[in-house]
């Protein structure tokens, strides 16, 4: 289950799946209007192992993470399912439900190296520590040639201060034109920022996506060129045409944050979902 050339011990698959299942129970339900579409659970298990291996011993920032791969990676290490993984994980997301779910899970499980922060990537990146690598599974940019992906990638490049690595999870499909255009544009954008494509794992993940259940995504890895830190410049807010069709056709960003209204236990049925009919009434 590893892609690493390094020697790894065998993973207990049952323990791994059950740990990821705990994370999925804690995950807020997706809001389709913001392109929140969750990765399928089997793929999350494999993806988490790959991310843990790639970011072993490093500081890792997530630019958006509705899937909760960050939590899986941290929890698999805490549970000793994996004996490798990042030393620090920070999630930046504009959805307070996601941010609070990460924080609650970390508190409950005593995972000290996992944290989250409310942030909208349309705004300039706030002051933060330097990270070694970033991970993003952004809005896939089907209607803007990947401009929305590039904004998330830009924030990732900023948190590593232009020196480090990135894993970008985006659409990958041989039969559709737009994923190829997006892939080309993201690669070209990364190159302009002083990064090269160091690896690509094709058509790996499936999603709970009712209108395109066959659509897969890839892991596109980018790495900084030598001495790229010199390109580092202050972060700026995004504006204008970069935001056109951000979440799909004519869906520009209009929301700063998604606020958590009520603390929900996502793993249990909610009271407003069902009604109890007493025995005597049904006879
Ligand atoms: C856009 S979704 C992409 C699909 C991915 N499989 C998922 O559901 O997480 C990725 C994450 O980006 C976050 N996100 C969307 N728009 C954002 C924004 N403007 N700033 C920061 N995070 C954002 C979402 O809340 C979500 O957690």
Question: Tell me: the pLDDT tens digits for 20-60?
Answer: 999 999 999 999 999 999 999 999 999 999 999 999 999 99
Place of tokens 């609650």: 104
pTM for the whole structure: 0.94
How far is Cα 64 from Cα 118, in angstroms, rounded to an integer? 10
Q: How far is the CA of 283 from the centre of ligand 1 (A)?
A: 48
Q: Which atom of ligand 1 is nearest to the CA of 217?
A: 6
In 3D space, the residue among 92, 98, 95 whose CA is nearest the CA of residue 158 turns out to be 92
Ligand 1: does its nearest atom lie under 6 Å from the Cβ of 37? yes
> Residue 3 has what pLDDT?
47
Q: What is the DSSP letter of 164?
A: S
Please give the domain boundaries of the chain with CATH numbers for all domains. Answer: 36-227 (3.40.50.150)
> Which residue has a Cα nearest atom 16 of ligand 1?
34
CA of 67 to the centre of ligand 1 (A): 9
Cα Rg, the chain, nearest whole Å: 19
Query: Is 141 near ligand 1, meaning CB less than 6 Å away?
Result: no
Average pLDDT, the chain: 94
pLDDT in tens, the chain (283 residues): 444 555 667 899 999 999 999 999 999 999 999 999 999 999 999 999 999 999 999 999 999 999 999 999 999 999 999 999 999 999 999 999 999 999 999 999 999 999 999 999 999 999 999 999 999 999 999 999 999 999 999 999 999 999 999 999 999 999 999 999 999 999 999 999 999 999 999 999 999 988 888 999 999 999 999 999 999 999 999 988 889 999 999 999 999 999 999 777 777 888 888 999 999 866 6
160: Cβ below 6 Å to ligand 1?
Answer: no
**Residue 14 region by backbone torsions, left for phi larger than 0, else alpha for psi between -120 and 50, else beta:** alpha
Count how many residues are written for the chain. Answer: 283
Give 6 Cα–ligand 1 centroid separation in angstroms: 32
> Ligand 1 test: best mutation among 23, 26, 32, 35, most atoms within 8 Å of CB?
35
Q: How far apart are the CA of 101 and the centre of ligand 1, in A? A: 14
For the chain, the first-to-last Cα distance in angstroms comes to: 55
Backbone angles phi, psi at 213, to 5 degrees: -65, -20
CA distance 101 to 71: 9
How far, in Å, is the centroid of ligand 1 from the Cα of 18? 25
Q: What distance in Å separates the CA atoms of residue 16 and residue 198, rounded to the nearest whole number?
A: 28
Å from CA of 92 to ligand 1 middle: 9
Collapsing DSSP to helix, strand or coil, 204 comes out as strand
Helix (H, G, I), strand (E, B) or coil at 217: strand
């Amino acid at each position: 289950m590893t892609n690493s050339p390094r020697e790894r011990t065998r993973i207990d698959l049952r323990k791994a799946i059950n740990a990821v299942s705990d994370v999925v129970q804690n995950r807020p339900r997706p809001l389709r209007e913001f392109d929140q579409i969750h990765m399928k659970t089997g793929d999350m298990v494999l993806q988490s192992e790959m991310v843990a291996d790639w970011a072993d011993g490093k500081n890792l920032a997530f630019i958006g993470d509705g899937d909760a791969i960050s939590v899986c990676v941290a929890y698999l290490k805490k549970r000793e399912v994996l004996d490798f993984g990042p030393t620090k994980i920070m999630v930046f997301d504009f959805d307070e439900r996601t941010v609070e779910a990460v924080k609650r899970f970390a508190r409950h499980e005593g995972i000290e190296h996992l944290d989250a922060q409310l942030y909208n990537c349309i705004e300039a990146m706030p002051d933060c520590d330097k990270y070694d690598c970033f991970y993003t599974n952004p809005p896939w940019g089907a209607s803007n040639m990947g401009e929305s992906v590039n904004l998330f990638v830009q924030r990732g490049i900023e948190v590593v201060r232009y020196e480090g690595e990135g894993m970008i999870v985006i659409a990958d499909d041989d039969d559709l034109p737009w994923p190829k255009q997006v892939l080309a544009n993201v690669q070209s954008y990364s190159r302009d920022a002083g990064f090269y494509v160091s690896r690509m794992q094709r058509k790996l993940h499936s999603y709970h996506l009712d209108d395109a259940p066959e659509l897969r995504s890839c892991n596109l890895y980018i790495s900084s060129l030598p001495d790229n830190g010199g390109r580092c410049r202050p972060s700026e807010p995004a504006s204008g045409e970069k935001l056109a069709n951000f979440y799909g056709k004519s869906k520009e960003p209009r929301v700063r944050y998604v606020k958590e209204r009520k603390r929900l236990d996502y793993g249990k049925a909610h009271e407003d979902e069902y009604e109890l009919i007493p025995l005597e009434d049904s006879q």
